[in-house]
Amino acid sequence: MTDERCDLLCLDLPHAEQVRARLASEHNLTSAAERAKALADPSRLRVALALAAGGEMCGCDLAWVCAFSQNLVSHHLRVLRTAGLATSRRDGKLVMYQLTAAALPLLDLLLAVTATPDR
């Protein structure tokens, strides 16, 4: 079968309604998609993984660890913060970053997927 559509229009309405009722709200889906998009960039993923490994870190340390410019790291951190995956706080002249609780399961999932052999 090369066509991706059913040849017959059918609907198991009770089952379809049960599935529909279990789906996340539009707001939750949008939020989840934004978080996934934030980790879809390899450089940003590298910054997030560095934070996961190092805990709370300043932008300068993250730039050195990731071998990126401070401007690039700042850009990626801003995207992670906007997506709700990182937080920041000022400590004197330093800005310290850390991942949120929402980021860790996403990173674990991404790493688990990349660790499985290709089929």
Residue 119 lies inside a defined structural domain of this protein:
no
More confident: 82 or 10: 82
What pLDDT shows up at residue 118?
A: 57
Q: Can you give the CATH number for the domain in which 53 is found?
A: 1.10.10.10
Q: What is the pLDDT confidence band of residue 2, given thresholds at 50, 70 and 90?
A: low
The string of pLDDT tens digits covering residues 56-70 is 999 999 999 999 999
User: What would the two tokens of residue 36 be?
Assistant: 């996934």
- Compute the distance between CA of residue 75 and CA of residue 66 in angstroms, rounded to an integer: 13
pLDDT at 111 over 90: no
| Percent of the chain topping pLDDT 70 | 93
Least confident stretch, 31-40, 60-69, 93-102: 31-40
Residue 29 lies inside a defined structural domain of this protein:
no
Q: How far is CA 10 from CA 6, 13, 17, in A?
A: 8, 9, 14
pLDDT at 77 over 90: yes
User: What would the two tokens of residue 109 be?
Assistant: 């999932």
User: What would the two tokens of residue 71 be?
Assistant: 């401007």
Residue 6 lies inside a defined structural domain of this protein:
no
What pLDDT shows up at residue 16?
A: 87
What pLDDT shows up at residue 117?
A: 61
Structural domains of the chain, count: 1
Q: How many residues does the chain have?
A: 119
> Which domain, by its residues, includes 80?
39-104
